[in-house]
Chains A and B, each alone.
Chain A
Amino acid sequence: MSEEDQQVPPTEEDVKGDNTPINVKVVSSSGEEVFFKIKRSTPLRKLLGAYANKVGKQEHTIRFLYDGARVAQTDTPKSLEMEDNDTIDVMVEQVGGCSP
């Protein structure tokens, strides 16, 4: 389990409005948690990029889920009505063909 705060770099897209950063927990398939602080208006694809970087994987191999629904490229914490300390799940690839 790694627990550390990661700051997603702010960009010009972080515009005015209710933009207080919230804490978001990204949980992998094996239960490992990575904590991020992210502004409400920052697109979650940036979080995905930061997370991919952190775990050493390519961005397109990772998919995020919030409340069981797929997070789209353009979603932001605001558009998903996320709250402080909410959890994002990393989608797991499952395969199957024969007996368990």
Chain B
Amino acid sequence: KLSALKAKDKHHDDIDRLEPMKWLNSVLMDVFVSKLNVKFALPVYDQRVAFLDSTFTLHYILLATKSHDTLKNPAGSIRSKPLKALQHRFKDKGITLIFPLNVNNTHWLVGAIFRASSTIGIFDSLIGESSNQAYHKLAYENMKKVWKVLAEAWFKDLHVPDQEWKFVVHTKIPKQGNVSDCGVFAIILIKSRFHLHIGSLFTQKIWLLTVSIKHTTRSKKKICNSYLKIKSKTCKVLSPAPGISEAAVSVHLSDVVGLLWEMGMDVGEEQGLDVFISWKNVLYLQERNENPFRVWNHRRRYLSLVCEIIGPRVVMEELANGNLSTSAPIDPT
């Protein structure tokens, strides 16, 4: 897949960065983030989660090269386009904002503001080193400031006291265990964890993305049954839409909660989970007799997962159009 991509577009070292042991860059992170933004702008997802891109976080969250006042006009209204696009979603005040954060051009981690639970969270795949605390704290302080700007602009009529935030550095998350994969882990963390806070529709389920339609519904169910130890009656296989070679298997969270614990994910404190695993990987692992959820430590799995999520065609199109980092969420209305 990678070699096909590279043959198409030799000039972009962005694609080279998907190779094992290479560090991910902001272009790749932002492609991913913009894809999620499009997805979560759909009404079906309740529009309660939004993602800011790596340039926004560079300017306002971690390096904070710009004053937070530049987010607004002198009159107090929001000037920053990525934030402006969030205004209509802000009304119910239950929004979740997700930030991919870069430290010193060496490390990726994830910050998040969960308005519904008044929590600001840090998800760091390198957690455990005491040197991390300084930038966790810095990110927390700056996320608070960004929120304050937003609250002042959009909750003007209401009496908004200074928000009390809980600051949580999450510890029970997958760790990278090497010196090259934090970008991939950041993507996985964004992907797997933040769905938890967006409402009930897609929670309580795991979706196994399929890339092959060669397997019948029955054989897919059989694999789920024998391999993932999921009861086939709780396993629903969705048919691929016309013209789309992807289909999905959804299973109930309660059936795989043990596996998730093995992955180091603390499901109990959350309300649900939405994980995407490539069907092809499941089949591959089945042949190798490995547990698909155990391979999360292997970069190749992560990277193929990233490719699946971003979609090579999309990457190519975006590269060709010079559109690699639209940060503003697209509003379908």
Contacts and interface: CB of A to CB of B under 8 A. Distances in A.
A31 B327 contact: no
Contacts of A95: 17, 23-26, 102, 105-106, 183
Nearest to A97: B23
Contacts of A96: 23-24, 102-103, 105-108, 182-183
Contacts of B135: 100
B333 interface: no
A88 B81 CA distance: 13
Given A68-B81, A70-B325, A100-B107, A94 B102 contact: yes
Contacts of A99: 106-107, 126, 129, 131-132, 179
A1 interface: no
B317 to A, nearest CB: 15
Nearest to A98: B179
Contacts, number: 96
A37 interface: no
A73 B320 CA distance: 13
B325 A63 contact: yes
A98 B80 contact: no
Interface residues of A, number: 21
A69 B58 contact: no
B327 A70 contact: yes
Contact of A67 (B79, B106, B326): B79
Contacts of A93: 25-27
B135 to A, nearest CB: 7
B81 A97 contact: no
Nearest to B54: A94
Contacts of B11: 60
Contact of B26 (A60, A68, A92, A100): A92
A68 B106 contact: no
Chain B interface residue bracket vs A? 35 or more
A39 B291 CA distance: 61
B299 to A, nearest CB: 11
A50 interface: no
A82 interface: no
Chain B CB within 10 Å, residue with most, of A69, A73, A89: A69
Interface string B92-114: 00000000001111111000000
Contacts of B55: 65, 68, 89, 91-92
Contacts of B65: 31
Nearest to B57: A94
B265 interface: no
Contacts of B80: 67-68
B182 A98 contact: yes
Contacts of B25: 93-95
Interface in A14-58: 31
B309 interface: no
A97 B327 contact: no
Contacts of A67: 79-81
B56 interface: yes
Nearest to A60: B11
B172 interface: no
Nearest to A63: B325
B83 A98 contact: no
B24 A69 contact: no
Given A68-B56, A99-B107, 10 more contacts: A31-B65, A65-B55, A68-B80, A68-B83, A69-B326, A93-B25, A94-B29, A94-B54, A97-B179, A100-B135
28 contacts: A60-B11, A60-B322, A63-B325, A68-B55, A68-B59, A68-B80, A68-B81, A69-B327, A73-B322, A89-B59, A92-B26, A93-B25, A94-B29, A94-B54, A94-B58, A95-B25, A95-B102, A95-B183, A96-B23, A96-B103, A96-B182, A97-B22, A97-B106, A97-B108, A98-B23, A98-B178, A99-B107, A99-B126
Pick the 7 closest A-B CB pairs, nearest first: A97-B23, A98-B179, A69-B81, A96-B108, A94-B102, A94-B26, A97-B180
